[in-house]
Each structure stands twice: as C-alpha cells, then as structure tokens.
Amino acid sequence: MSVIKGIALITGSAQGIGRGIALRLARDGFDIALNDVPNKGAQLESVATEIESLGRRVCVVPADVSANEQVKEMVDGAVTKLGGLDVMVANAGVVMESGPLLSSTVETWDQTFSVNARGTFLCYKYAAMQMVEQGRGGRIIGASSVAGKFGFHSTSAYSATKFAVRGLTQVAALELGKYGITVNAYAPGMIQTPMSENAMNMSKNQTIEGAFRDPEATKWITSILENVPIKHIGQPADIASIVSYLASKEAHYITGEFIHSQQFIS
C-alpha cells in the first residue's frame, strides 16, 4: 500500500460522477468513505470492492444528505472508521422532473433544494467542524454546475440550487481560510451519467407528466453541445481529474473558486 495522502468522504458515490471521484482519489492515495442513500447499498459495496482492490482502506457511510443528524453521523462514522477527515466532496445532487416556472410546484422546488442546497450546506458544516477540530487544514469541494452560472430553460429549481452552492462555497472559503481549509466547487457541463441520461430522456418525451413540458425546454441539451468548444459529452473521469487537483497539496492556494469543465461560447 502506498503512503496515505489523507481520508476523503464523497457523497453520492454509488454511481456517476461521485463514483468516478471516489475511484480517482483512491488511485491518488486517499482512503475513502463512500456515501449515498441507504437503498444504494449494493452499488456502494461494489465501489468499495473496487477501492479495496487498489490497496486503499474504505468504509461505507449511508445517509440522506438532506437530514441534519444523518450527515453528522455520516461524518462521525467516517472519522471513527478511518481515523479522520481531510477531504469532503459534497457531490450528491438530484434533478427532479421540471417544467416552466409558471407550472413548477412547491414540492419539486423543496425536494431539489433539500438535497442540492441544504445537503451541500450540511456536508460543508460538519466536515468543517471536524477539520477545525483536527487542526491540520483540509479540502472541501462541492458540486455546482454550469447551471450555477447560466440558468437553463425550465430548470428553475435546479439552476437556483447550483447558484446557491456557488455562493455558499465563496462564503465558506472566506470563513475557513484561517484554518487552512480551502473550499471550491466544480461545475460540470453535460456529463454522461445515469442522472443526465434521465434528464435527456425526460426532455425528449413530452408526454411525461411534469417533465420539460414546454417544447422550448428541449433546446437546452443540444445548446450545451452547440455552445462549448469541445463537442462531445464528458465522462465522470473528466470531473474526477478536477477534483483530484483541488484535493491535492498543490491546490493549497486556490479557494472560493467555481471551476467549469467547459466555458460557454458567448
């Protein structure tokens, strides 16, 4: 086993970008705490097996990131099982069925904010508390989106949560810098994951109740590829490489940043 670089906790790591980040940080030399909702236990165990094969220690800490006590217990569990916390990647997020603002529901708004905004806040808070107590600094990294800089048609709740993550990240960076803790956010464009595939299927099927019912909304997916320099859809490993750098010692002087996987052409 190589020398440990630290202990990293990644939320939403049963699949997609979170899984890619967990595997990349394990290859980088981190021991890994894996999180997702409890009903994804089998997927988490599969990722854990892959990480063990890389010679790293790993534990599974299921939790709903929108629940205050569960997030606290998640962080405490990772610390108890692995011995501390050096990197928190608040990756968990959802895309609920959406539609034009005039037909959006309070339920969809609240559900989206509970995971994407409150969940990120809770992960930042409890990770920061642990890192401050340890006294050795740390890295907090959150999942925003290009939708956190450019609002997309018929995604009012999702875009608003990703703008919220961007603001939260900047404030946390200001407050935590004195403890040697950096706080940054990555902002993926279209990445090939189960979540993005579901969103694309919803946008193409206008008969799905509550999903992108306005025909104008179908343009946002194609516009992503039409208005970025690199035309293919990204892969989880592309985002994992960004997180790998932000989690490294070399990134000690970068904080409060919002890093796009690609910039839109204006």
User: Number of structural domains, the chain?
Assistant: 1
Q: Is residue 194 in some structural domain? A: yes
Q: Is residue 266 in some structural domain? A: no
Integer CA distances (angstroms), 206 to 150, 201, 203, 210, in order: 24, 9, 7, 9
With a cut of 80, say whether residue 231 has pLDDT above it: no
Give the tens place of pLDDT for each residue, 13-61: 999 999 999 999 999 999 999 999 999 999 999 999 999 999 999 999 9
What is the band of 208 on the pLDDT scale with cuts at 50, 70, 90? very low
Looking at 74-83, 163-172, 228-237, which range is the least confident one? 228-237
pTM, whole model, 2 decimals? 0.89
Q: Is residue 1 in some structural domain? A: no
Residue 221 has what pLDDT? 59
Question: Domain containing 127 — which CATH number?
Answer: 3.40.50.720
Q: Is residue 143 in some structural domain? A: yes
The strand ranges marked E within 146-261 are: 181-187, 258-260
Mean predicted confidence (pLDDT) in 233-238? 86
Q: Is residue 121 in some structural domain? A: yes
Residue 37 has what pLDDT? 98
Torsion sign, CA atoms 225, 162, 141, 115: negative
**How many CA atoms does the CB half-sphere of 17 hold within 13 Å?**
30
What is the band of 213 on the pLDDT scale with cuts at 50, 70, 90? very low
Q: Is residue 53 in some structural domain? A: yes
Q: List the catalytic residues.
A: 158, 162
Token digits of residue 77: 């569990």
| Cα–Cα distance for residue pair 138/203, rounded to 1 Å | 39
Mean predicted confidence (pLDDT) in 115-121? 98
Give the tens place of pLDDT for each residue, 151-206: 877 889 999 999 999 999 999 999 999 999 999 999 987 766 665 555 545 444 43
Q: Is residue 54 in some structural domain? A: yes
Structural domain for 50, as ranges: 6-260
| Cα–Cα distance for residue pair 154/138, rounded to 1 Å | 37
Residue 209 has what pLDDT? 35
Mean predicted confidence (pLDDT) in 250-257? 98
Token digits of residue 68: 């205050």
